[in-house]
Structure 1
Amino acid sequence: MTGRKPSLAAALALFLAGAAATASTPSPAAAIDHDRQFQACVTLAERAPSDALGSARSWMRQGGGDRARLCQALALFHKGEFKEAGTQLEELAPLLGGNDPAVEASLLARAGWAWLRAGDAAQADRLYSTALSKQPEDVDLLIDRAIARGETERYWDAVADLDKAIKRDPQRADAWLYRATAHKALANARQALSDVDRAIALRPGDPDALLLRGNLRAETGNADGARADWQDTIRSAPDSNAAKTARRNLDRVPAAGQGGKK
């Protein structure tokens, strides 16, 4: 299953709304607007993570506290230092979450994503499970854990999470697509086709969904349908990785009407 980058927006919005207001104690001697500093540092972390890392460390020496540590963790993530970022985010989650389970769960999920990027899907699964224990109705967390479980080939567990996500929000095209991917891995081609059809209905032109349906059609002997989907993938997003794969697949099935396999 292919991972996605979960947004930090929800966590940071909650954090700035008040969960972090008591997370650090500004130095009386330093005339620093810590809220503004935090927002500036987080913005810098995405654009120039090395600069943000230096800024966060300087801010910590001026009383930035846990908010500065969070910015440092985000900068490490954007620098590609995923293990260290994941470790710091996990440590900060209960400190910054306090009595707000939504904030704690969101930060645990960011830690899970960092560990997934680091290649440790089992650690990511553990963190997502902890986050879900605090926010069991969160559809994004269910989808994220399903991705982690797919990475360790726990496809039936991934399907179980995606079943819950779809039940809670049947309009989530990504959940249908990920469940289709899991069913394909389990050799449940009919269910996978049904799921990917639903994903495409909800998000027409999605290149990943079109690519997957083309692959499934090729595997089930529908070469004409496969080629049509791969061509649509290229038209939809010609510079995407999905389009590159679709072009390779078209070369493998050179003639319509022949049941080729990807």
Structure 2
Amino acid sequence: MNRRNAYLITAALALLSVSPAVAAPAVDHNREFQACLTLAEKRPAEALESAQTWLNRGGGDHARLCQALALFHKGDFTTAGARLEELAPVLGKDDPKAGASILGRAGWAWLRAGDNVRAERAYSRALALQPEDVDLLIDRAIARAETERFWDAVADLDAALKRDPRRAEAYLYRAAAHKALANDRQALADIDRALELRPGDPDALLLRATIKAQAGNLPGAREDWSQIVRNTPASAAAKTAQANLDRSAKAPAPAPAAKGEAKGGAAPAKP
């Protein structure tokens, strides 16, 4: 179960527990909800059918929530995002944290659908309910970076790290934003901090290698690429690192310095 589902389940079950009681309930809605969410992650098509059956038996908005999550896991991110946004004010009416959690999942659905504007809007609505939520700040930063609003992304990540300075992924995302803004020194500092918290993290090493290579430090870049391939050979970063190692091995060696050329660069122009 991922972090975006963990609180959502707890909050929704809390909402169910305060629903008006009925004599000898024919349906255990708490159990139905738990089972439906578990099925949604593993077999979303079956979960859609199960949620519809539950809806017909009085499952109400919680059955609709399960349908929306099943659509998310099925890959229908646009429909899932729209339905989650509709359900958030209903299921979160008396519980801002639950509403924020559902809006956060809506934001993730819009990100997966490629609609970064709607993703940011959903995250902003969620943060209006839970302004201290570090995960929501990080997720909105991702949405903002996707629309190349890098300074806004940095602002969200600054806020997230002020609240929780041990979030390695926040340092890494901020490093990527700083790199996009050509702030390589700050990017490298953030990568170093991320690696202190997550030694050997392949994504951090890959980003550092990219910065080194673009700065002309190919030996340093190759060292990072080699470490990725050696330590995390099955990772996606390792595939990219190996391709870069192969490409750099075929690159022509730098031409020898011309006679009279300064060792560190071009010869000074004559007055």
Q: TM-score, normalised by structure 1?
A: 0.91
Report whether the alignment pairs 1:13 with 2:24: no
Report whether the alignment pairs 1:205 with 2:205: no
CA contact (8 A) 1:27 1:63 kept: no
* Structure 2 counterpart of 1:21, one-letter code: S
CA contact (8 A) 1:143 1:175 kept: yes
Do the aligned partners of residues 33 and 20 (structure 1) sit closer, same or farther apart at CA in structure 2, a change above 3 Å counting? closer
CA contact (8 A) 2:55 2:64 kept: yes
The whole-number CA distance in structure 2 between the counterparts of 1:13 and 1:132 is: 19
The answer for unaligned runs of 5 or more in structure 1 is: none
Q: Please show how residues 19-168 of structure 1 align to structure 2 within 5 Å.
A: 19-22=15-18, 31-168=26-163
Q: Please show how residues 190-229 of structure 1 align to structure 2 within 5 Å.
A: 190-229=185-224
The whole-number CA distance in structure 2 between the counterparts of 1:19 and 1:225 is: 54
RMSD (Å), alpha carbons: 2.0
CA contact (8 A) 2:4 2:101 kept: no
The whole-number CA distance in structure 2 between the counterparts of 1:154 and 1:245 is: 26
After superposition, give the CA deviation of every residue in 1:160-210 in whole Å (9 maximum; x if it has no partner).
100111111110000000000111111111111111111011001211111
The whole-number CA distance in structure 1 between the counterparts of 2:52 and 2:21 is: 15
Q: How many residues align?
A: 253
Report whether the alignment pairs 1:186 with 2:186: no
Do the aligned partners of residues 37 and 246 (structure 1) sit closer, same or farther apart at CA in structure 2, a change above 3 Å counting? same
Between 232-241 and 243-252, the greater mean CA deviation after superposition: 232-241
Shift of 1:10: 1.7
Shift of 1:6: 5.1
The answer for unaligned runs of 5 or more in structure 2 is: 255-271
Identity %: 63
Q: Stretches of 4+ moved more than 6 A in 1?
A: 25-30
Shift of 1:34: 0.7
Shift of 1:29: 8.4
CA contact (8 A) 1:57 1:68 kept: yes
